[in-house]
Structures are given as C-alpha cells and as structure tokens.
Amino acid sequence: MRLNLNKIKITMQVLKETLHKEGLRYTKQRQEIWNELRSSDKHRDAEEILFTLRKRGLKISRATVYRTIDVLVKNNLIDKLDIGDGRARFEYNDKYLHHDHLICTSCDKIIEFNNNEIEELQNKIAKQHNFKLLYHSHQLFGICKDCK
Amino acid sequence: MRLNLNKIKITMQVLKETLHKEGLRYTKQRQEIWNELRSSDKHRDAEEILFTLRKRGLKISRATVYRTIDVLVKNNLIDKLDIGDGRARFEYNDKYLHHDHLICTSCDKIIEFNNNEIEELQNKIAKQHNFKLLYHSHQLFGICKDCK
DNA sequence: AATTTTAATGAGACTAAATCTCAATAAAAT
DNA sequence: ATTTTATTGAGATTTAGTCTCATTAAAATT
Ligand SMILES: [Mn+2]
Ligand SMILES: [Mn+2]
Ligand SMILES: [Zn+2]
Ligand SMILES: [Zn+2]
C-alpha cells in the first residue's frame, strides 16, 4: 500500500515535470488521462478514455482527450499504436521494457513481444542510412493460436 | 521493347487470373488501377490514383478505386503502407524483393530497406507464439540525412 | 487572500479519408 | 443476340480527429 501510493506519486510527478518543462499547466483533466493510461496495460482508444473518465464523474471533452494524448505521445509518456482498423490505440510507454505487437486479424487479440535483436538491427539500419531514428512502428498481423 | 510488352502482358495476366480465382470480373477500371500501381515504384494514395487515371481520360469513380485497392491488397498484389498522416499509401508488392520503410518526419521522404535477419526473427517470434503470420507492418520514423 | 494574467477547457461545428447506396452499365454466360 | 449478374458512378453517409471561440481555471503577481 505504501509502495503503491508512492508509485502513483512518482508517475504524477513525471507528468508535472513534463508539463512544466513544456510550459503547460498541470490540470485535473491531464492528470486523470495520464493516470488512466499509466495504471492499465490495455490498448485504449480516445473515445474509450473519454467515456471511462466521464463515467467516473469527471467533466471532460473529446477535444481535451485528443489534445492531452498529443502532449503525452510527443513527450514519450505514452505510445500510439495502429492496429489497422482506423482507430489509434494508446498505451503507457515503459522505457525499461519496450515491446511491439502481434495482432490477430480474426479476433483482434493483441499479443506483446520484445526482441532485442530486432531493436539492434533497427539501429543498425538507421545508422547505415545516416538516419536519426526517433521511434518505430512494428506490427505482425496474422491468426492467433486460439483462432486457428 | 519486346521484353517490355511481354512484361506488361504477364502482369496483366496475373491480375486476370487473380480476379478469376476470386470470381470477379476483369474490368477496364481494375486493369488501369493495377497497371498504374505495378508500373511505378512510388507510394501512391487513393486520390492520386483516381486523378491520374481521370487525367488520362478514363471514366472512373473514387468508390471503384477504393474497392479495387481492397481486392489487390487482399490478394497480395499490392501493399498498404501507413506513413502516419492518416492517408494510406499503396505500392506494387514484389514477392521476390520484400522491403520495409524509413520515413522522415521532417520532409516525408520514404527510404526503403530490406533486412533478412529481421524477416527471419519475425517468423521466429510468430512461431514462438503459435501465431500464423500473414503480413507485417514495419516503419522506422526519424530524421533523414538531408534534414539533420 | 484577492486580483490579474494567461493557458486550458467544453460544446459543437468542421474536415477529410474511407465506406455505403442504388440506379445504370458492362462483363460474361447462355 | 439475349439474358444474367457483377461492377460502376454519383453523391450521400460515416467516423476519427481537428478547430473555433466564449467560458473557466491554473498560476503568477499584488
Ligand atoms: Mn502493448
Ligand atoms: Mn516501398
Ligand atoms: Zn485470434
Ligand atoms: Zn527528411
């Protein structure tokens, strides 16, 4: 319990410092959106975040959700994920355990993987092209074990 | 010249056979869209294809472009590419020389790469998860050599 | 603590890519 | 040549995401 409360405090501090660094204000809505994303390992879309927070009694608009998500993505606090259905998903970005995704085209299940060899090869390719790698998007689409 | 004409004949035959296999008709519009994509190495969006063909005098609608693209993507004759600006791009799928992309977030340049080690690692990861890999999407975003 | 300054928010209008509808048309089968 | 059936075109519709602008709230100043 003690640890848990501290963890929340620390991640909220991360948000506060990021916003300060960008000259942005530490608002209730931004706190709630960040808390919602960092405390779950689901891949959420904007509308889902909006309605979850509204159900919880927060006064918040669609525009604010999209605007906040942009700030969080640009500052690498969350990652944007395209699973191929035209609706972007977002998830907490754990810098110490990066992962990419396998996506089942039959049941939409999302499976996470992390592979350091691929990460290294990506760096190597970028270097070969004298390209400054900022981020990447890597998805494997197919049929999961439960669907075949 | 002889070879060039034969090459066109062969790729048009590929389309004809694919459509036949799917119980679909070999129409003028489908021929022109396929010819447009297979004879260029650009990454085109739907609107671009539509206006190129109209400028060339073909009577064709937006709906037909999108519908045909879907057929070609599903049959692996072309690949769909998401460069992160909300507009899908399409390109000829050369089965004998697969490639993925580096995308400059500053000038939108698209650089192609192919790396067999990564392709093999993808297969390995899919196998580990008992996942039938159908296709993948792999983009490296950053700043190209001309922009930095 | 009250006031001033300035950025953020909410409601809903707007945009743009992609999809859908349905009457007219053209490909293929007969 | 005629019939059958899929395809097309025009434009309406959907939907994720963005924009506007009056109102509100955070932070700076007094
Ligand atoms: Mn994930
Ligand atoms: Mn390419
Ligand atoms: Zn599945
Ligand atoms: Zn560039």
Q: How many domains does chain A have?
A: 2
Q: Which of A46, A78, A93 is a domain's end point?
A: A93
Mean pLDDT over each residue of chain A, to the nearest integer: 94
Smallest CA–C1' distance to C9, residue: A64
- Report CA-CA distances (Å) from B27 to A72, B12, B60, B68: 48, 11, 11, 10
Range of the domain at A24: 1-93
| CATH number for the domain harbouring residue B130 | 3.30.1490.190
Are B133 and A122 in contact (CB < 8 Å)? Answer: no
Least Cα distance to A140 among A91, A100, A106, A94 occurs for A100
**Residue A82 shares a structural domain with residue A122:** no
**Residue A84 shares a structural domain with residue A104:** no
Mean pLDDT over each residue of chain B, to the nearest integer: 94
pLDDT category of residue B137 using cuts at 50, 70 and 90: very high
Q: What distance in Å separates the CA atoms of residue A43 and residue A41, rounded to the nearest whole number?
A: 7
* A85-94 residue pLDDT tens: 999 999 999 9
What pLDDT is recorded for position B90? 98
* B110-124 residue pLDDT tens: 999 999 999 999 999
**Residue B63 shares a structural domain with residue B119:** no
How much is the average pLDDT of A113-142? 97
Q: What distance in Å separates the CA atoms of residue B119 and residue B99, rounded to the nearest whole number?
A: 10
Which residues in chain B have Cβ-Cβ distances shorter than 8 Å to A140? 122, 125-126, 131, 133, 136
| B143 CA distance to ligand 4 middle (Å) | 5
How much is the average pLDDT of A92-120? 95
State which nucleotides on strand D lie below 7 Å from a protein beta carbon: 6-12, 15-20, 25-27
Q: What distance in Å separates the CA atoms of residue B141 and residue A126, rounded to the nearest whole number?
A: 9
The DSSP code sequence of A96-127 is TS--EEEEETTT--EEEE--HHHHHHHHHHHH
Per-residue pLDDT for B2 more than 90?
no
**Residue B73 shares a structural domain with residue B26:** yes
Residue type, A70: D
This prediction's pTM? 0.91
**Residue A79 shares a structural domain with residue A108:** no
**Residue A77 shares a structural domain with residue A130:** no
**Residue B42 shares a structural domain with residue B64:** yes
What pLDDT is recorded for position B32? 98
Are A131 and B142 in contact (CB < 8 Å)? Answer: yes
Q: What distance in Å separates the CA atoms of residue B58 and residue A104, rounded to the nearest whole number?
A: 39
Query: Whose structure tokens read 């960008």?
Result: A22
CA A8 to chain CA mean position, Å = 17
Evaluate whether B143 touches B105 at the Cβ level (below 8 Å): yes
Asked if residue B69 keeps its beta carbon closer than 7 A to nucleic acid strand D, the reply is: no
* B92-103 residue pLDDT tens: 999 999 999 999
| CATH number for the domain harbouring residue A9 | 1.10.10.10
